Structure 1
Amino acid sequence: MTAPWLSPQREQFPGVPAWGVPTSQQPLPSLPSTRLPDVTAEWAWGGSDGSGIRVCVVDSGVDGSHPLVAPVDEAMTVVFERSDHPGIAPAEAIDPAGHGTACAGIVRSMAPGVSLSSMRVLTDAVAGTGRALLAGLRWAIDSDFDVINLSLSTTKPEFLPALHELADRAYFRRSILVVSAHNMPVRSFPWGFASVISVASHDQPDPFLHYYNPSPPVEFYARGLGVPVASPGGGRTRNSGNSFAAPHIAGLCALILGKHRWLTPFQLRSVLYQTARNVTPKGARHAPAGLLAAELTAEPADAAD
């Protein structure tokens, strides 16, 4: 069955305003849905490993041979066929810069069963252009990935309208776009958009621990300081930054979708909200997030330097 959110756009019906449908004459199909009971971490992702969920890391590439990352199911890159015209081409699963591999390793540690892919938009120096970002992100959205991790942004306002359009497209196609906030107090895009899940760092070691932020623009906090990450050459190191907080939330999203496939984007955000450590139903307490972390990871993420 084709997912309803990937169905062709409806035609305009005579006598009905644009985008409407005469439901008295053309009933809408019944849709599978996931009801949200009293949401806890155990309900949300307990027992899930992310199997069946496709995750794309849009970054500097991903090292498909790294033991903390492999396998990488698809690797693509942005190429400039002309000086101002980016295209998309298959690529080796490599990452000379290491940034994308670090992010991918976090996703894999959180959700070991996901199908992991790479879209390279950055150079070896972890730099890139807005045009490359737009082209790579467009490919990831149009390829119907369930979760897209974007641990980068642009400060150039000329790319804002196109990024807004892509973020909204992802939302309505049910591609969950998880974006890290800038590490500096500057205005950049697209992490401030309402249609994406924006993430900044907290300083605690539990990879499953996240907080909701009621003060815009960042929506959630996840582990981002002293994070054990995959490093070039098959090793491990520790890094800090919002770049490494985002894939923790991307991994959580994959776990949740792996267990509750028919959650809509706003339902998924509600699940993240309701399982945040600082959001507690009146008269109730959440179980420590670390208990689930121990159950769901063969080796805790902070076990090795």
Structure 2
Amino acid sequence: MGDSPRTFRLAHASRGATVDPGSLPLPCAVTRDWAWGSATGAGVRICLIDSGVDTSHAGFTRPITTLTVSDDDVVPDDLGDQAGHGTACAGVIRAVAPDCELTSVRVLGGGLHGRGEALLAALEWAIERRFPLVNLSLSTRRAEHKEALHDLVDRAYFAGVTVVASAHNRPVRSYPWHFPSVISVGSHDLDVADRIEYNPDPPAEFFARGIGVEVPLPGGGTSRLTGNSFATPHITGFCARVLQRHPGFATGQLKHVLAAIADNRT
């Protein structure tokens, strides 16, 4: 990180654009109080598909179910987080929606390497179990997985499963965040945890805090990390708050609410 908050070089990051409120027709006033009020995500199930979670970290005061993909089956995980990425994302989700019901499915190992088949198996498992929210702070550039991922996120969309997907940190084409059936997320650089920006120039649809985010580390302690990966669980946590207040909202409705309460609407 540089000395100035404007020195980051993430692709798909906010450039401070504002949005005309008239571009988003609303049947009634949508405020944050209406959207989630005092909700904390209680009772909302979230599936975090990532590198696993170190559940022994003192920052996790509520249970987290930890699973992994083995031979394309989802089974209990006894290895834990070898990369730190999933633990960091879980920390952000729990900071935003502390009372959500969080399940981790590990598909990445050390160095954040993993098989596309494992990602597909984990996502299909989450859809079959109708998790209202799936956090994907990852993507793939492999063309051989593009169609299968597209089919799965479309299936999720029609099943009432909202996939919140991270835009790539570099200006490359990757998936599934490019698909319109997911909520795609990039970063803004403001040190405001609850700030949401709506992007008038997608494919990244929303920006959340992703620069210098304080996150838990495996083995204890915290660090400040930067990337669209850490903006994405902010949006997932906000969606969990909305779903506690308005159970049954689907992806389209969640997108509409997030856009309506975005801080850059003038």
Same fold, TM exceeding 0.5?
yes
CA distance in 2, matches of 1:166, 1:127: 21
- 1:78 maps to which residue? 69
Q: Output the TM-score relative to the length of structure 1.
A: 0.76
CA distance in 2, matches of 1:149, 1:69: 18
Q: Does 1:273 align with 2:259?
A: yes
- 2:169 maps to which residue? 183
Q: Output the TM-score relative to the length of structure 2.
A: 0.87
Moved more, 150-159 or 132-141: 132-141
Q: CA deviation at 1:216?
A: 1.9
Select the structure with the greater relative contact order (CA < 8 A; seq sep ≥ 6). Answer: 2
Q: Does 1:232 align with 2:218?
A: yes
| SS in structure 2 at match of 1:125 | helix
Larger-gyration structure (1/2): 1
Residue identity over aligned pairs, in percent, reads 51
Q: CA deviation at 1:264?
A: 2.5
Q: CA deviation at 1:146?
A: 1.2
8 A Cα contact 1:93 1:118, kept in partner: no
- 1:159 maps to which residue? 145
Partner amino acid, structure 1, of 2:60? V
Q: Does 1:102 align with 2:93?
A: no
Q: CA deviation at 1:250?
A: 0.3
- 1:59 maps to which residue? 50
Cα offsets for 1:226-285 (capped at 9, x unmatched) = 0000111121110000000000000000011011113232111100000111224xxxxx
- 1:68 maps to which residue? 59
8 A Cα contact 2:46 2:131, kept in partner: yes
Partner amino acid, structure 1, of 2:140? T
Q: Does 1:38 align with 2:29?
A: yes
- 1:115 maps to which residue? 101
Aligned with residue 204 of structure 2, among 207, 218, 225:
218
Partner amino acid, structure 1, of 2:113? A
CA distance in 2, matches of 1:36, 1:244: 32
8 A Cα contact 1:64 1:93, kept in partner: no
Partner amino acid, structure 2, of 1:48? A
Q: 1:212 to 1:199 in 2, by over 3 A?
A: same
Partner amino acid, structure 1, of 2:186? A
| SS in structure 1 at match of 2:216 | strand
Structure 2 gap segments, 5+ residues each: 1-25
| SS in structure 2 at match of 1:273 | helix
Partner amino acid, structure 2, of 1:41? R
8 A Cα contact 2:81 2:109, kept in partner: no
- 1:139 maps to which residue? 125
Cα offsets for 1:182-241 (capped at 9, x unmatched) = 111111000010000000010001111010111121000000000000111121110000
Partner amino acid, structure 2, of 1:122? L
| SS in structure 1 at match of 2:241 | helix
CA distance in 1, matches of 2:90, 2:111: 18
Partner amino acid, structure 1, of 2:148? A
Q: Does 1:171 align with 2:157?
A: yes
Q: CA deviation at 1:43?
A: 1.2
| SS in structure 2 at match of 1:77 | strand
Aligned with residue 182 of structure 2, among 196, 200, 222:
196
8 A Cα contact 1:72 1:93, kept in partner: no
8 A Cα contact 1:68 1:109, kept in partner: no
